Amino acid sequence: MCTLLALRIAFGRRSAPVALLVVVGCGRLDQECRAVSGTANAFIADSERQRPRAGATPAETVKAELATAARYDRLAADLAALKVESSELAPEVRSYRELAEHSAAALRAVADALGRGDFEAARSKRIELDAAAKGEAPLVARINGICGTSKGDARAP
């Protein structure tokens, strides 16, 4: 959309209002993309700092799952707080928020099952979480496509 600014030069003054709207719209999308990217990357950085250790006890795993659920809740709240109005980006951010909310709920269910000693229920919920998480990569790719970032430009949206 930003490349339409060149129309002003090609068609003279009449295209100036159209070009201005395109620049304004593009600027808004750019701001929204930076906000989403900053939010997602902060979540990723926080999660990387708090990785659960291998060989953790069930009690340590419960604590780690609940901490991760809290980070997903915070991600969902942060995404909801963003003012994303671009018609292309808004539904993807909504999907990302819903994925975060679903992940938080699934992690709390895993922690609850582990706390009760119901390892089969915990395994089942973990499989459900892992299946839902498979949708994250395509979602991030769509957001990156909208925002014009490649895999090399950003770790996440």
Q: Is residue 96 part of a domain?
A: yes
**Residues 51, 84: Cα–Cα separation, whole Å:** 30
- Domain total in the chain: 1
Domain that holds residue 106: 40-147
Write the CB contacts of 144 (distance below 8 Å, at least 6 apart in sequence). Answer: 150, 151, 153, 154, 157
* Residues 73-85: tens digit of each pLDDT: 999 999 999 999 9
pTM assigned to the model: 0.75
Main-chain dihedrals φ then ψ at residue 83, nearest 5 degrees:
-95, 90
Write the CA distances from 157 to 26, 39, 87, 134, integer angstroms. Answer: 17, 9, 16, 16
Write the CA distances from 31 to 28, 46, 86, 137, integer angstroms. Answer: 5, 23, 10, 22
* Residues 72-117: tens digit of each pLDDT: 999 999 999 999 999 999 999 999 999 999 999 999 999 999 999 9
Q: Is residue 76 part of a domain?
A: yes
Q: What is the dihedral of CA 71, 75, 80, 85, to 10 degrees?
A: 180
Q: Is residue 9 part of a domain?
A: no
Q: Is residue 10 part of a domain?
A: no
Query: How does residue 58 score in pLDDT terms, banded at 50, 70 and 90?
Result: confident
Q: What is the mean pLDDT of residues 41-58?
A: 82
Q: What is the mean pLDDT of the chain?
A: 79
Give the pLDDT score at 26. Answer: 57
